[in-house]
Amino acid sequence: MKLCDMHTHSDNSFDAKSAVDELCQAAIKSGLYAMAVTDHCEAEFINLGENCEFGSFDRQIPQSVRDINSAKEKYRDKLLVIRGLELGEPMHDPEQTSHALAYADFDFILASVHNLRGRDDFYYLDYKTVDVTELLNEYFDELAETAAFEHFDSLAHLTYPLRYIVEREGYYPDLSPFSEKIDRIFNILIQNKKALEINVSGLFKSIGRTLPDEPLVRRFFELGGEYVTIGTDSHSSKMVGKGIEQGIAVAKAAGFKHYAIYRNHKPILIPIET
């Protein structure tokens, strides 16, 4: 079966360290058929330039695209390298989001929510002092808004805040109070023919499951979801391809017969073999 990793970060992301070339070599070594490099662009902060705590996206993303383009050429017979982007909070600032989209002709865009409007990244929140129910309500509302955004292909790591809640507080919040909100997100994705990402990074963290986990992926399928993408969210070459098979198993258990990779924003279906 073809294994594809649709979410990786190179050293053009502020929090990652491997060059695109190293990611490609790791991908080939792990026997991947395709890999998307999806460096971070937190659109609302582009205007801050080098003063941004994440560095200048105006510098990082064009460099990421150049590195991906050379790797595409260099490894053309061994690996399908996909020109991707992880676009953070596209709904926070439409103007800067358009600026981000104009960096290149991307093949694949992951849309993510790492921070709510006016709040810090979920990574920095103190879950002892925030009202978790209120936070998750806001989170799922923002995801529904993001799902309605036109220019992306797959919605990244749904349940992202839970990763930190489990890590720091040691419990997995009951999501049943949010089921209507989550259904709304899925229905918008389905209507707009967008994919849901199965992010396997959680398998190697205390949360111990994919983001989102199998019951949620199954719900997406039951509602009529057609496309899932699978990604490791690797921030180092060591993690490239790790857990993709488990991610495929989650998709299969949820009912999917295929998962998707993207070229020019068009899904290409990879059959899940039994």
Shortest reach from residue 212's CB to Zn ion, in Å: 13
Pull the structure tokens for residue 70: 């050379």
Binding of Zn ion by 5 (CB under 5 A): no
Size of the site for Zn ion (CB under 5 A): 3
Query: Mask: binding to Zn ion, 159-178, rule CB under 5 A, as x and -?
Result: --------------------
* 27-35, 86-94, 219-227, 259-267 -> range binding Zn ion (CB under 5 A): 86-94
Instruction: Specify the stretch interacting with Zn ion by CB under 5 A; choose among 76-84, 85-93, 189-197, 221-229.
Output: 85-93
Q: What is the C-alpha to C-alpha distance for residues 32 and 44, in angstroms, rounded to an integer? A: 33
Nearest to 23 by CA among 38, 12, 9: 9
Q: Are strands 4-8 and 228-231 parallel, antiparallel or unpaired?
A: unpaired
Which region, judged by CB under 5 A, interacts with Zn ion, from 28-36, 80-88, 129-137, 161-169? 80-88
Q: How far is the CB of 9 from Zn ion (least distance, A)?
A: 6
Please report how close the Cβ of residue 39 comes to Zn ion at its closest, in angstroms: 9
| Three-state secondary-structure class, residue 249 | helix
From 29-37, 83-91, 125-133, 208-216, give the range in contact with Zn ion by CB under 5 A: 83-91
**Helix axes 132-147 and 179-191, enclosed angle (nearest 10):** 10
Q: Which is nearer to Zn ion, 89 or 233 (CB)?
A: 233
Give the type of residue at 239: M
Q: Are 197 and 154 in contact (CB under 8 A)?
A: yes
Place of tokens 């002092």: 129
Tokens at residue 63, please? 């460099």
- Rounded to a whole number of angstroms, the minimum distance from the CB of residue 76 to Zn ion is 25
Write out the binding residues for Zn ion, residues 116-145 only, by CB under 5 A: none
Give the up-direction half-sphere exposure of residue 270: CA atoms within 13 A in the CB hemisphere.
22
CB of 7 to Zn ion, least distance (A): 6
CA distance 166 to 186: 24
x/- letters, 230..249, toward Zn ion (CB under 5 A)? ---x----------------
Q: By CB under 5 A, name the one of 112, 201, 210, 234 that touches Zn ion.
A: 112
Q: How buried is 79 (Cβ within 10 angstroms: 0-12 exposed, 13-18 middle, 19+ buried)?
A: buried
Residues that bind Zn ion (CB under 5 A): 86, 112, 233
